[in-house]
Amino acid sequence: MDRALRRRLEARFADRLTGPVRQRHDETEIRIAPGDVPEVLLALHDEPGLRFRMLSDLAGVDTGSAMQVVYHLWSDTTGDWLRVIADGLSRDDPRVPSVTFLWKGSEWMEREAYDMFGITFEGNRDLRRIYMPPDYTSFPLRKDFFLPDDAARSPGGGVRHMEQTHGPTNAETGAHVRQAPAS
């Protein structure tokens, strides 16, 4: 556990943290409000004692009750990894400020989180679908997304995975016919 990093983060961002600083293996984690993203990430990026200059990943998360954006940062001076979680985004209209002013490459990561989770990154100049068709109206990685054949299932009835094979029930068995595995 890097106690020095933990103390620096607690001292610098005490009024911005929405939970305790956590450390697991070689990564430290802080949680902040979505509105604090630009200010906190700018400080993490620019301040000499921190210098988290590399954004290695940005991802959307659906906890089932709220949405999150997770930033994975690396410091070029200390070799520390930092996970910053913008926590508590509304499920109805998840919004967070863009970080493209710090990392130009985050534009694509923000587009992916928008496309898969419906998270709006305010200030992203090109926030549009990246995987799904432009007229697609749903967000496939949200917990409330159902596969097309799920409409008839009762809540909690489970999901049939698309890659699971289901052979015909009246298939003949024999050396020339490959039988699908039973489900």
Residues 36-85 pLDDT 10s: 999 999 999 999 989 999 999 999 999 999 999 999 999 988 889 999 99
Contact predicate 100/46, CB 8 Å:
no
Domains of the chain, CATH where assigned: 3-139 (3.30.460.80)
Cut 0.75: pTM above it: yes
Q: What is the pLDDT of residue 77?
A: 85
Predicted confidence (pLDDT) at residue 29 exceeds the cutoff of 80: yes
Predicted confidence (pLDDT) at residue 126 exceeds the cutoff of 80: yes
d(C-alpha 39, C-alpha 43), whole Å: 6
Q: What is the pLDDT of residue 104?
A: 95
Predicted confidence (pLDDT) at residue 129 exceeds the cutoff of 50: yes
Q: In the chain, pLDDT over 90 holds for what percent of residues?
A: 66
Percent composition of the chain: helix, strand, coil (DSSP 3-state, to 5): 20, 25, 55
Q: What is the pLDDT of residue 3?
A: 87
Categorize the per-residue pLDDT at 30 as very low, low, confident or very high, splitting at 50, 70 and 90: very high
Query: 55 is written with which tokens?
Result: 């954004």
Which residue type occupies 83?
A: R
d(C-alpha 78, C-alpha 2), whole Å: 11
Q: Give residue-wise pLDDT tens across range 161-176.
A: 444 444 445 445 444 4
